[in-house]
Amino acid sequence: MAESAELILDGKSISLPVIEGTEHEKAFDIGKLRDQTGYVTLDSGYKNTGATKSAITFLDGEEGILRYRGYPIEQLAEQSSFIEVAYLLIYGKLPTQAELDNFSNQITKHTLVHEDVRKIFDGFPSAAHPMAILSSLICSLTAFYPESVSPDLSKEDTDLNVIRLMAKISTIAAWTYKNNMGHPLNYPRNDLDYCSNFLYMMFSFPTEKYDIDPRIVSALNKLLILHADHEQNCSTSTVRLVGSANASLYGSVSAGINALWGPLHGGANQEVLEMLQAIQKDGGDTSKFIAKAKDKNDSFRLMGFGHRVYKNFDPRAKIIKKAADDVLAALGIDDPLLKIAQELEQAALTDEYFIERKLYPNVDFYSGIIYRAIGIPTEMFTVMFALGRLPGWIAQWKEMRENKEPIGRPRQIYTGETERDYVSIDARS
């Protein structure tokens, strides 16, 4: 492997050191480029730019590989639990039984939120999008725990903030649903595991007992594991950038929630379901919509297909698709939207138009089918993505801080007006 790259600019040659990661990804370090040449690089959307070195998640877009701290997601989805994967991402190793019990018990102890949080809920209109409430209330934790804002927290205090965030997001997420439905809020129970407690808070009613189905708990664990981290995606990069200013964990994650809400990012799972529902409402003729998607004069586009990083398939989609089949079979649900989804997928995997454009199902394509099957409404899908992605955001924020990375401050190429003098208003046209 070359030790460096040589850049020849304006007759001068400079050497850019080459670095190689543990999975043989290569980069050349341009940290001194502007000082040495006066030039900056330009890479809109950062598709060719590494923002950091990270030991958390490795993905290979060509081979469809995704590993958390070296463990393949296929194994974690099958054998682990969401809380165990959260510990793995945040602390870098699989926990011993004692460590897992302590982590899980600490989270359980902190699922209750301050009663004043309920008052904030009362201030939101019932039609407020759950993601607006979630980002607001996660940021409000800095008001309830003002010491969390300090950039010089001890390890113990940082760990407490991590526990509080992991615990309270599940209660706040469930309450956004209840608030949206106009239902009474359910308080968390300390006798239930994380996913069971979330389902209980989401779906139990004072008037009728909610039976927690272990098959749904298993599917939810799998879904949250598959969403837990994805290296430097838009929302994670947002969390790292905001955190690099020494902003608090809660404030950084609140920013990440808003980035994830974007329809081009985590909001895509809601868009997929709305697309399937629109096709169903139109009569369910998928061939008509496939033709529309291929027609460059038609604005219709298939949501949930293709990916910025994966070139052949999204490994998470394969696992989620099987989980969708299993959950619907187990629950005896014959969802017409699943049939529409399967027809669209079949077309995407066989039609040259989609194959050459690498438009195959991604993680968002099937997740909505499962969420629907377990009773989660479409507007809550991106909240579910945020619930799953939280340990990844926390892990990435911690890594950035522990590595003492500098404040993120990209440069630009200015293309505006050159210098000109101020003109008084009466002389303007």
Which sequence positions are flagged as catalytic? 307, 364
- For residue 411, what are the CA distances in angstroms to 39, 44, 259, 328, 417? 10, 11, 21, 50, 18
Give whichever of 164 and 230 is closer to ligand MLT, judged by the CB atom: 230
Stretch that binds ligand MLT, among 147-155, 162-170, 245-253, 306-314 (CB under 6 A): 306-314
Return the number of the residue (188 or 392) whose C-beta is nearest ligand MLT: 392
Angle at 256 between CA 388 and CA 238, to 5 degrees: 125
233 binds ligand MLT (CB under 6 A): yes
* H or E, element range at 176: helix 155-181
Closest CA to 170 of 380, 375, 327: 380
Piece in contact with ligand MLT (CB under 6 A), picked from 126-134, 249-257, 301-309, 393-401:
301-309
CA proximity to 261, closest of 358, 136, 162: 136
User: In this complex, which beta carbon is closest to ligand MLT, that of residue 108 or of residue 233?
Assistant: 233
Q: Is 345 helix (H, G, I), strand (E, B) or coil?
A: helix
Phi, psi of 35 (to 5 degrees): -65, -40
Please tell me whether residue 80 binds ligand MLT under the rule CB under 6 A.
no
Site string for ligand MLT, 248-287 (x = CB under 6 A): -----------------x----------------------
Toward ligand MLT, which CB reaches closer, 95 or 262?
262
* Residues in 180-219 that interact with ligand MLT by CB under 6 A: none
Return the residue of 308, 311, 322, 357 that touches ligand MLT, per CB under 6 A: 308
Q: How far is the C-alpha of 103 from the C-alpha of 113, rounded, in Å?
A: 18
Binding mask 309-328 for ligand MLT (x = CB under 6 A): x-------------------
Site size for ligand MLT, by CB under 6 A? Answer: 7
- When the beta carbons of 58 and 175 are compared against ligand MLT, the nearer one is 58
Which tokens hold the place of 371? 């969420």
Rounded to a whole number of angstroms, the minimum distance from the CB of residue 407 to ligand MLT is: 23
Tell me whether residue 347 or residue 363 sits nearer to ligand MLT (CB atom). Answer: 363
Q: How many helices (H) and strands (E) does the chain have?
A: 18, 6
- Examine residue 363 and tell whether it contacts ligand MLT (CB under 6 A): yes
Smallest distance, Å, CB 393 to ligand MLT? 10
- Residue 230 binds to ligand MLT (criterion: CB under 6 A): yes
- At residue 229, φ and ψ (nearest 5 deg) are -160, 160
Do 323 and 216 touch, CB atoms closer than 8 A?
Answer: no
Which one of the spans 18-26, 279-287, 307-315, 329-337 is the region binding ligand MLT (CB under 6 A)?
A: 307-315
Q: Which stretch binds ligand MLT (CB under 6 A): 47-55, 237-245, 305-313, 369-377?
A: 305-313
Nearest to 171 by CA among 213, 141, 128: 141
Give the torsion through C-alpha atoms of 250, 255, 260, 261, to 10 deg: 110
DSSP-assigned letters across all residues of 369-385: HHHHHTT--GGGHHHHH
CB of 20 to ligand MLT, least distance (A): 23
What residue ranges bind ligand MLT (CB under 6 A)? 230, 233, 265, 307-309, 363
